[in-house]
Amino acid sequence: MNYIAGEWSASGGGCTYERENPAVPHRVIGEYPESTPADGRRAADAARRAFGAWSGAPAAERTEILVRAADLILRRQTEIAAALTAEEGKPIGRARGEVARAAEALKYFAHGALRSGGQTMQSLRPGVRLATWREPIGPFLAITPFNFPLFIAALKLGPAMASGNTMVWKPSPHTPVVSVELMQAFVDAGLPGGVLNLVMGGSAELGQSLVEDPDIVGVSFTGSTAVGLDIGSRGAARHIRVQQEMGGKNVLVVADDCDLKRAAEVAAESSFGESGQKCTAAGLVVVDRRRGEEFLAEVESILKAMTLGDGADSGTDLGPLVDRTALHRANDLYDRAIDAGAVSELSGCGTSAADADGYFFEPRVVRLPQGEHLLKTQEAFAPILSLVLADDVVDEGLSLVSQCGMGLSASILTDSLSAADDFSRRVSAGLVNVNLPTTGVEYQAAFGGWNLSGGPFPEGGAGAEEFYVRTKTVATASRL
Ligand code: NAD
């Protein structure tokens, strides 16, 4: 169901879509509204009407409601995590972790409402006080992807609503149940009608009409680069602000001094974790040419200990891809990569408990040739570790980052402080990890891709609300 102007409702167009469990596709999870532009229009209108009261409410009141919603999410962690695993496919332990992390993030941003403030400064004029105020702007649109449907929603809805804006939220069509659960938590926490409006559906027409809705004053988008760039140009044409968190092609450099067993563990988590469906997944792993065989042997023993299967089973390490299209795309990319000269090195987990009809893609390791290759530039969004052997791993890693044109996350594994420092300074990416996987995002720090991975506004951290407020300078003379 959609939630618009304080009420649950079907789409006015009457259309629905079915969501299936990607691990067991014959298990249909339910039917959800395939909303139309008219539904989106109603939602934006409701958000506009709710703006005055919500932005004028005491900040403490907004904080209290958001904190209450976060507590409810935590209280319902078991049910929400089970729903997340059933519709998105991630292993249940990771799903529980995401629910908890989303609640924590929401609390962190909720308190931002109280911390928010402007500055005072000396005026050049006698008897004048000069101050800046930071004010909410109006109804924002949040568009979120399927892979972290709760955490990424919390990164957007938290700072936007805490700072006094109202929202239309269009989640991924792949994760309808957890979107309803999150919305319900806000409703139960006492969020006034119209402040947050949930519009479900996946058509480009719906997304585009929301971006172009005259009441929407800004868009926070997370998803693929192609869609993010399209939203950016539509937003620019309307002169509204757009926050884009987009795709990645992330590089992990294994320096010559590091322990290869440990390096293989970090690389496997970076490339295969959540079946590679993370924007920060390591697509490219760079290893010294003389240590390639040894590294592969370590990765092979990790894969042998892994289980591919339904994320609902506690022994599962890797779940399915999110849907049939994602599986076709991954198989097609892999076949084209092999045709283009990639060498298949490893494939599959030690144990497979996967349903034959499920959308499972066995983890693979391929070795890439020198020079250009499609896996050096295209995001796989599947558990494919592309190994690049090099004589100078740091130089090769830096050059791969520039070649792909993206710049989300990069890692170096090394005991050398100077190598780590040099890499961190030179790499063109918004997130750098030293002796850690390329994955792992903390809400209290800024997170934003560079180049084709993002726009000028990062998410997260104490500055998260910057995107959602505008500055007014107020000069006051003590008397006329
Ligand atoms: P997607 O781009 O297909 O969809 C994201 C959202 O955009 C969905 O809600 C979708 O319905 C909506 N959408 C699709 N077409 C649209 C259009 N024309 N106009 C407006 N909205 C539209 O992405 P996905 O498959 O859900 O997620 C995977 C992608 O997201 C990967 O590329 C991944 O790297 C990226 N991602 C980035 C980050 C980050 O923080 N940088 C985080 C997570 C995922």
pLDDT along the chain (480 residues), means of 10: 97 96 96 97 98 97 98 98 98 98 98 87 95 96 98 98 98 98 98 98 97 98 98 98 98 96 98 98 97 98 98 97 98 98 97 94 98 97 98 97 96 97 97 97 96 96 94 94
Q: And the tokens for 300?
A: 């092979």
Looking from the CA of residue 279, the nearest atom of ligand 1 is 34
Active site residue 279: yes
pLDDT of residue 114: 85
CA separation for the pair 12, 260 (Å, rounded)? 57
Instruction: State residue 328's pLDDT score.
Output: 98
Residue 127 backbone zone (phi > 0: left; psi -120 to 50: alpha; other: beta): left
**For strand 343-347 and strand 364-367, is the pairing parallel, antiparallel, or unpaired?**
antiparallel
Atom of ligand 1 nearest to the CA of 322: 25
pLDDT of 467: 97
pTM equals 0.97
Q: With beta carbons less than 8 A apart as the criterion, state whether 464 and 105 touch.
A: no
Q: Whose CA is nearest to atom 32 of ligand 1?
A: 224
DSSP 3-state of 27: strand
Ligand 1 atom 11, closest CA: 202
Distance in Å, CA 395 to ligand 1 centroid: 31
Catalytic residue among 245, 269, 298, 465: 245
pLDDT of residue 389: 98
According to the model, what pLDDT value does residue 8 have? 98
Count of residues making up the chain: 480
> What is the position in ligand 1's atom list of the atom closest to the CA of 225?
32
* Encoded amino acid at 324, one letter: R
Show the DSSP H helices in 57-202 as ranges. 59-75, 77-88, 92-115, 151-162, 176-188
Measured from the CA of 454, which atom of ligand 1 is nearest?
A: 41
Q: Please name the residue whose Cα sits nearest to atom 40 of ligand 1.
A: 245
Distance 144 CA to ligand 1 centre (A): 6
Residues with CB under 6 A from ligand 1: 143-148, 152, 170-173, 202, 204, 207-208, 222-224, 227, 230-231, 245-248, 279, 379, 381, 408, 449, 453
Cβ 309 vs Cβ 315: under 8 Å: yes
Nearest Cα to Cα of residue 160 among 188, 139, 146: 139
pLDDT of 113 reads 83
How many angstroms separate the CA atoms of 276 and 155, rounded? Answer: 21
Q: How far apart are CA 399 and CA 360, in angstroms?
A: 33
Instruction: Kindly write down the DSSP assignment for every residue of 423-474, as one continuous string.
Output: HHHH---SEEEESS-S----TTS-B---GGGB-S--BSSTTGGGGGEEEEEE
For ligand 1, the distance from its centroid to the CA atom of residue 228, given in whole angstroms, is 7
Task: Kindly state the tokens that stand for 175.
Answer: 């994760």
Residue of 258, 279, 349, 404 with catalytic role:
279
Q: Which two tokens stand for residue 277?
A: 């469906």
Ligand 1, atom 6, residue with closest C-alpha: 145
The tokens describing 104, both together, are 């924590």
Distance, in Å, from the CA atom of 324 to the CA atom of 109, rounded to the nearest integer, reads 36
Q: Distance from the CA of 1 to the center of ligand 1, in angstroms?
A: 21
Site to substitute for ligand 1 among 178, 224, 453, most atoms within 8 A of C-beta? 224
What's the gap in Å between 267 CA and the centre of ligand 1? 25
Tokens 């009809």, residue located = 357
